[in-house]
Chains A and B, each alone.
Chain A
Amino acid sequence: MNKIKFADYNEGQDIPELRVGPIKQMDLVRYAGASGDFNPIHNDVEFAKSAGLPGTIAHGMYIMALMGRQVTNWAPPTQVKFFGVKFKGMSLPGETMVFTGKIKKKKEENGDKLLMVSLTAANDKGEVKVSGDLTVKAE
């Protein structure tokens, strides 16, 4: 995995995208076990409906984890200084997720060369589910 170099990137440049899906109920079961988040809205259709949802919904953190895959397919994890997301919509089983990202700003701060990246997870119809911000300390 190559280190991210400040000089190699320009503002407005895209980072490589990642497509995952369609999300299956089994993916959510596996994620529940791995993360320990057994909130039944993610794995029990009847419970989810009784909570007023259309059916089970993906863990927001599952989508963030996939976004994290996109990030470290591109940048080594030790260069990632900040990763934050806002959940905009529910991701449902059956949806295919597309993760994209763009260099929003390059800046030097206290001697650090930083790439500020905006991230988006949308379904394949373009409906945004998660937006993210990433700070990579470049070389």
Chain B
Amino acid sequence: MAELSKDIVGRKMEPFTFTVERGKVKEFLNAIGETNAIYHDVNAAKAAGYADTPIPLTFQTAFTFWGYGDKFWSDLDSFGIDTKRLLHMKEEYTYLEPIYPGTTVSCQVEVIDVKVGKMNMVTFKNTYSDGKGKIFIEAEMAIVIRPEGM
């Protein structure tokens, strides 16, 4: 495995797309115990003023894992990140436009910061857009790699 270094700042994963399907959203809602009707029922959502059922606040995490799949882990490996020792440190979402079922979201993951030291840290920026310039969500994710023995 490559050794982690600041050289990976600016490295991008390959762009990918994820189409938001109602069934996949429902599976996520059920997994987190979300029962709020606006997420489940189009009529309830419309009555509350939404164009359709909105996705829950963190559903976009599935875009990467399902849209990019195991390549996410092998890319981390190729960046010099020991995925066995990886812990999630920070996750931030800036919501610009709502995402509804049927939307195909274009996704791009980029390394924006690396700190090498006692604890190694890597920060990624994920941009979720319509692929034509309209950004739905901007995300930042930071991970820490536990040193051996911790």
Contact = CB atoms under 8 A, between A and B. Distances in A.
Contacts, number: 116
B16 interface: no
A87 B87 CA distance: 9
B150 A52 contact: yes
A35 B29 CA distance: 10
A80 interface: yes
Interface residues of B, number: 42
A66 B94 contact: no
B95 A34 contact: no
Interface string A66-100: 10110111001110111111110010000000000
Interface residues of A, number: 39
Q: Is the interface of B mostly helix, strand, loop or mixed?
A: mixed
30 contacts: A31-B31, A33-B31, A34-B27, A34-B62, A35-B28, A35-B62, A35-B65, A36-B65, A38-B65, A39-B86, A51-B84, A52-B85, A52-B149, A60-B91, A64-B58, A65-B56, A72-B36, A72-B56, A78-B49, A78-B50, A78-B98, A80-B57, A82-B95, A84-B90, A84-B91, A84-B92, A84-B93, A84-B140, A85-B92, A87-B90
